[in-house]
Structure 1
């Protein structure tokens, strides 16, 4: 359905009358095309303005079928099976401007249904079953009609004569199936343009062509299939010379011999014709080298599109020379097997030359001085490869402004000295080629419009100082990942970079490109970062139009923003404002430093430093002693560290259970074994070093005792300095981690990483507890009489 709606809109836009029509929105357009309908649907919305029911099987139209559609302006009923149209069917559709009833089965010559369509501008009733077409009084009610499509099987002199001075802009006559045609039957038509589809009967077609030439100001003929004879008309005196008002001729699907083609051109050369357009021409038979005299002519434009020859071998030099020497202003020979582009024999009058979609190659390029007034040359879709050769073609064309060599196989790897562009070239199109960034070394200095779309350019080198005149740059559909500023082309007004690999566009483009008014950067894989955020914040600049904004600008990276519209993308101001970010970082750094100093004071870290210093000094003094003065390495099985508030448990349970029995253990207890006269720190270090293990009795009281933490500190130091597993933790009661002050982080770490023994409340489990503890510290120590920490 959507495709049919599009067809409707395109069809209307091609017609002149649509200039006065305001296109309705989607809800006012309805398409039933190709849905197998056999009748007009009921209960259609009264809001419908455009209705398409083409390509169905509707055979009957009723008087009230379109009564609800009073706002309808467009109706397409083509390609159905309709035989009769009731006279009152459109009495409620007075706003109808477009009516297509072509390719049905209408047979009655009366068109009484037209009496109510006074606003009609387009009417097509061609290819029905009319035996005789008579333009009756009904057409007098159509003063705005500017397109009329007709067809009939029989056409005589008076059938197409209007009974009032009704002038129609365009008349189409589908005479493909005509049986009887009377010469001069087209004399009564008063139209600016006449378009006729000719029958296959060659004799009748010749008569119609001659008649059409004599009756029109602008003529279009389709299916001109004349495969025999020397001309496309039968009169000895050419009708082109009789009608000195005919100015434009279009021939579609033309088939004739080379002799007939040249004969027609000779007659046209002496006629009043200004423009000749031949689309899809087939030359049958041999191409002979016949003379062609270029007399003074009114013809200004000749277009040959889709030229075919039935023979393979021919003199291409002759063909090229014939056309290139024509004394006209505009010449187009496209989609033809032209392999050469010869230089004219004398100074050419051509202003415009189009040789696109041929087979021209580098061998066809040559420096030619005989184009003194040539302003535009179109060579798109050929086989050119080297820019150095193509550019030198323009060297002597002093008036050339526009050069198009798109759609070839151009590449460039050389230096600027190999290029020979005309310096005054204004517009250059090299799109759809194989060009890379090196092409910027080979460009005309004064080019204003440059089209490099659909190439393989990865970046624009920053050496474009010579392009100071560039105003429009089209470089979409390449592989650009970044854009330069406008320092090398300060006069740029329009920049197209759509469908590249751009991750961002710097906001500097708004500052550097002062003359830029239109930017097309849609459909790129944008990386939504600060650079792009700054660009978006400037996107509402009033003097620049951003084409496709905002629907066609979306984030691609990072994945979290994939598919997000750039308009909806945002970042914190702090992350993209560098000065603000620096100030914020300095403030945070200052606050962190101040906080760390306060924290150090709160956690009493200076105390730990003093303890380390005292421990170091003690170790240094011990190391200075002679080895003979040192006591044996191990004097105790274990050193016990505990809080004074837990001394009852130590004295009642721990000491008795370890020092009794057949194999009593030697336990170092500070109340009993510390030597008077020595500092507490030195006593602690000596006892820890002379003990095989260090037992710490952990409880809430232990946490509150600073001396217990000193002992834990030095025992932990021995663990790392000697790589010895000498710590035993006994947990008298559960101690949650959050109850341990932050400054005792070492205890937290030990409790988190080491396995500890829990004192069981159940007396039955005490035996196993003591057995496990003795097993850990039970080793053989040297015999000694005096067990003290010295």
Structure 2
């Protein structure tokens, strides 16, 4: 049921937010599945403004370090699924009674570190599932009786650092909390524990330290169910305050820095306190003998733990604990004034002790301890001397504790560690020597530590690792040598580390990576930390120092000194086939080759933050093999472009940090293709607020998948005071009026030109189309080759209505009666099944001449018009004299004016007129007609003779005029014929 509600909440969230997945004041934690949000350091005065756009699916919201002063009603009404709400470290002073209404799933509420002095009695009404409530560090002085009455499942209540005075009022307010287990009232102003109601029986942990208690003043059974009671730092609290109190359930009682005398407490018969559960720290017990003497009166032989911190102990005699019950687990002597522990003689008689802490004392030296029966503590497993002033550790310093598994000597000033100091510790598993002044370590130092698994020697002065130093540590898993001064490793320095998985060499002075030394860890090493050294490479290097580390998972090379690595050699990461995390930040690398990461096919985290020099140009394909990469951090790299060639293959990417780069725009299509991307940081990048980014703006405010961090804080670099999410993109679109004007203007022009073009160019365009088709089908070339080998003397173009004249007059006179002409006729010579256009083209180009029999019917025929167009093309464009016009009837000038191609032919060429019935002598005129037509058909197509014909033009014109007058009007010349015109007949 709850899962279904979450799904509904996520769906409702996107509907509520209008599809956006970026937040004004909050950041969703990466990989939290829309549930965890952090909102910090904002100046908004209203909680509603901060969380208004947080997803409805949120279950964990943190709002801290803001300037909030008031939480009004319904502030979280848009977050019904909240389980954890943290409002600490703000300036909240008042909260409306309905501020948390309807948060029925809330389990944890943290209002600590605010300025709250008053709560409405009904503030927590309805929060039945609340289990943890933190109200620490506020100004609460009083609590109403039913203040927490609705919190029936409350387990933890933290009220420390307030101004509470009336303990009885506190008890009344919590008396009905049947599930309450922990109550913290420390650092208040309580004077006594007088009460008018009982504590909940479930209460097991009660902290009342750092108050002003002078008396407990409570009933005998008031604390009978409490198991952990802390009354520390109530400096006026006397021993008598415990008289007649039933503390029989106590498992831990802390009375540090009170006026209670532990001796009197143990001697009193009126105090029912189990002594083995008392923390004896801070009682001023300079010697524990008196304490042990009192404890010996109790019928107990064993104590699990004895805490003697802050008792000003300086010296412990050999019999200090001999009369105490056997301590089985821990003896804590920290925060005292001890200067020596000798060989732990003070533990005489404590043969069962497992853990000893002597931290924060004044120890200066660990002496040699001879092995004797009386000074051997075979049960001791853990020993800690942290935070002392130990300068030297002598040989055999731990011979008396041969079974140690954990030894902590860190945070001292150890400058001398004898080569035999750790001898005999064959069971030691964990050794800390960090934060000392050690300069040399030797093989003898660790020769007995066959069981050691973790060795930490960080922050010392070690300069060289000598050969065979770790030869005996065959079970060592973790070796931490970070923060030293190591410049190199001697040959065989790492011999013996057969099980090493983690090697930390960060912040040393290494100048190169010894591939031969590291190669010894080929089968085991998983973590290698080399950050903060002096490692540099040249472009000439070709061998990878990691080639054999096939099991390495985590590699850190950050911040090489003084100026970074600068150069990554070719194939630098070869062999790291298992690597998952690579850290290269702060290295100022001048150039990244396109194949530098090719071997890292299992990489999931790559950080290159601050690794660029100025403007970094990432080469295309640099991430091509990183298909499993989930997190890419390239902050402050000077990246200028977000291209598919660079980022296109990162299909598994979830987190991309591009903060502080030089990006002015992003490819939205590429962002869409990164299908797993969830988190994108573009802060402090100079995004342009212009038309180049209109798609990016739309994407950032409408995408449902990728969280763009602090989108609403991204400013326009080129427009002061503007924000990227809402810069004006109207200028990027054509105005509607302009669009309509352009459309109507274009339509008007087209409607004007189309008829004109139809009249003037229709046939030319159509002819050109058909010519192109013929050319495309290799018809054109073939026809041109056949021109000199024409099949026909003439192609007769006529309308079917004039077929009678053609068959009865033209055909007998040109092909019959002994004539040698061969004519091409539609119905007789066109190839059956062939396209008619192809037939026309073939007829024109397979004939020496084209004779157009012009009549009214011819002018109305589309196909006849196409035929004369093709013939005239040869006449005007190919300069071939192939066209003859024969008019069967007189056609008025006005009818011919629309046939511009025919008019042009008539202006250039002589045409023949068939003698009509009104002719004076038709028989004679027809004979002359056929004579002239035959002469025209036999004339050459070439225009090479045109010049001669033009010179005789005048004489021929006169002769024709005379013949025309004598023989009839069968030959007509146009009066507009220009000088270049040629007669059909010579």
**TM-score grouping bracket, smaller chain normalisation:** 0.5 to 0.7
Residues 99 and 92 (structure 1), Cα distance of their counterparts in 2 relative to 1, 3 Å cut: same
3-state SS of the aligned residue for 1:223? Answer: coil
Question: Which of 613, 626, 637 is the aligned partner of 1:557?
Answer: 613
- 1:332 is matched with 384
Q: Distance in 1 between matches of 2:590 and 2:98?
A: 51
Calculate the aligned-residue CA RMSD, in Å: 4.8
* 1:25 is aligned to 2:75: no
Residues 384 and 492 (structure 1), Cα distance of their counterparts in 2 relative to 1, 3 Å cut: same
Q: Deviations over 1:457-476 (max 9, x none)?
A: 23212212333454232323
Q: Distance in 2 between matches of 1:41 and 1:53?
A: 17
Length-normalised TM-score, structure 1:
0.56
Report the CA distance between 1:331 and its aligned residue: 1.0
- 2:353 is matched with 299
Q: Distance in 2 between matches of 1:475 and 1:411?
A: 15
Question: Which of 564, 568, 587 is the aligned partner of 1:525?
Answer: 587
* 1:176 is aligned to 2:234: yes
Residues 333 and 531 (structure 1), Cα distance of their counterparts in 2 relative to 1, 3 Å cut: same
Report the CA distance between 1:94 and its aligned residue: 4.5
Kindly report which structure 2 residues correspond to 1:710-729, keeping only aligned pairs within 5 A, or say none.
none
Q: Distance in 1 between matches of 2:470 and 2:342?
A: 38
Residues 455 and 39 (structure 1), Cα distance of their counterparts in 2 relative to 1, 3 Å cut: same
Greater radius of gyration (CA): 2
Q: Is contact 2:305-2:328 (8 Å) kept?
A: yes
Q: Is contact 1:210-1:233 (8 Å) kept?
A: no
Q: Distance in 1 between matches of 2:646 and 2:291?
A: 84
Q: Distance in 1 between matches of 2:217 and 2:176?
A: 28
Q: Is contact 2:336-2:360 (8 Å) kept?
A: yes
Residues 297 and 326 (structure 1), Cα distance of their counterparts in 2 relative to 1, 3 Å cut: closer
Structure with bigger helix share is: 1
- 1:513 is matched with 576
Question: Which of 459, 482, 495 is the aligned partner of 2:512?
Answer: 459
Q: Is contact 2:432-2:457 (8 Å) kept?
A: yes
3-state SS of the aligned residue for 2:199? Answer: helix
* 1:107 is aligned to 2:166: yes
Q: Is contact 1:407-1:432 (8 Å) kept?
A: yes
Question: Which of 245, 253, 256 is the aligned partner of 2:313?
Answer: 256
- 1:474 is matched with 529
Q: Distance in 2 between matches of 1:567 and 1:305?
A: 55
Q: Is contact 1:463-1:488 (8 Å) kept?
A: no
Residues 554 and 290 (structure 1), Cα distance of their counterparts in 2 relative to 1, 3 Å cut: closer
- 2:328 is matched with 273
- 2:205 is matched with 147
Q: Deviations over 1:323-373 (max 9, x none)?
A: 995441211111212233230456722222221122222363436643333
- 2:184 is matched with 124
Q: Is contact 1:376-1:401 (8 Å) kept?
A: yes
Residues 564 and 224 (structure 1), Cα distance of their counterparts in 2 relative to 1, 3 Å cut: same
Q: Distance in 1 between matches of 2:495 and 2:448?
A: 14
Kindly report which structure 2 residues correspond to 1:414-429, keeping only aligned pairs within 5 A, or say none.
416=467, 419=469, 421-426=471-476, 427-429=478-480
- 1:433 is matched with 484
Report the CA distance between 1:251 and its aligned residue: 4.0
Q: Distance in 2 between matches of 1:178 and 1:478?
A: 56
Q: Distance in 1 between matches of 2:458 and 2:281?
A: 31
Residues 486 and 209 (structure 1), Cα distance of their counterparts in 2 relative to 1, 3 Å cut: farther
Report the CA distance between 1:385 and its aligned residue: 0.7
3-state SS of the aligned residue for 1:91? Answer: coil
Kindly report which structure 2 residues correspond to 1:458-607, keeping only aligned pairs within 5 A, or say none.
458-464=511-517, 465-472=519-526, 473-481=528-536, 484-500=544-560, 501-502=564-565, 512-514=575-577, 516=578, 518-521=580-583, 523-525=585-587, 527=589, 529=591, 531=593, 535=597, 541=601, 543-546=602-605, 549=606, 553=609, 556-560=612-616, 563-564=636-637, 570=643, 572=645
- 1:615 is matched with none
3-state SS of the aligned residue for 1:466? Answer: helix
Residues 160 and 5 (structure 1), Cα distance of their counterparts in 2 relative to 1, 3 Å cut: farther
Q: Is contact 1:213-1:246 (8 Å) kept?
A: no
Residues 121 and 223 (structure 1), Cα distance of their counterparts in 2 relative to 1, 3 Å cut: same
Report the CA distance between 1:115 and its aligned residue: 3.9
Residues 178 and 61 (structure 1), Cα distance of their counterparts in 2 relative to 1, 3 Å cut: farther
Q: Distance in 2 between matches of 1:221 and 1:407?
A: 35
- 2:434 is matched with 380
- 1:691 is matched with none
Report the CA distance between 1:315 and its aligned residue: 7.9
* 1:198 is aligned to 2:257: yes
3-state SS of the aligned residue for 1:334? Answer: coil
Q: Is contact 1:161-1:188 (8 Å) kept?
A: no
- 1:401 is matched with 453
Q: Distance in 1 between matches of 2:421 and 2:97?
A: 70
3-state SS of the aligned residue for 2:358? Answer: strand
Question: Which of 333, 337, 343 is the aligned partner of 1:282?
Answer: 337
- 1:317 is matched with 367
Residues 214 and 123 (structure 1), Cα distance of their counterparts in 2 relative to 1, 3 Å cut: closer
Report the CA distance between 1:274 and its aligned residue: 0.8
Q: Distance in 1 between matches of 2:205 and 2:135?
A: 17
* 1:366 is aligned to 2:420: yes
Q: Distance in 2 between matches of 1:51 and 1:442?
A: 53
Residues 265 and 347 (structure 1), Cα distance of their counterparts in 2 relative to 1, 3 Å cut: closer
Q: Is contact 2:284-2:312 (8 Å) kept?
A: yes
Q: Is contact 1:213-1:240 (8 Å) kept?
A: no
Q: Distance in 2 between matches of 1:258 and 1:213?
A: 32
Q: Distance in 1 between matches of 2:140 and 2:558?
A: 49
- 2:109 is matched with 50
Q: Deviations over 1:700-728 (max 9, x none)?
A: xxxxxxxxxxxxxxxxxxxxxxxxxxxxx
- 1:88 is matched with 146
- 1:231 is matched with 288
3-state SS of the aligned residue for 1:459? Answer: coil
Q: Deviations over 1:737-781 (max 9, x none)?
A: xxxxxxxxxxxxxxxxxxxxxxxxxxxxxxxxxxxxxxxxxxxxx
Residues 398 and 77 (structure 1), Cα distance of their counterparts in 2 relative to 1, 3 Å cut: closer
After the TM superposition, which of the residue ranges 297-306 and 147-156 deviates more from structure 2?
Answer: 147-156
Q: Is contact 1:31-1:53 (8 Å) kept?
A: yes
- 1:775 is matched with none
Q: Distance in 2 between matches of 1:368 and 1:573?
A: 55
Kindly report which structure 2 residues correspond to 1:729-748, keeping only aligned pairs within 5 A, or say none.
none
Length-normalised TM-score, structure 2:
0.46
Query: Structure 2 regions of 5+ residues with no counterpart?
Result: 1-24, 27-37, 41-57, 64-83, 538-542, 618-634, 650-986
Report the CA distance between 1:40 and its aligned residue: 5.3
Report the CA distance between 1:564 and its aligned residue: 4.6
- 1:779 is matched with none
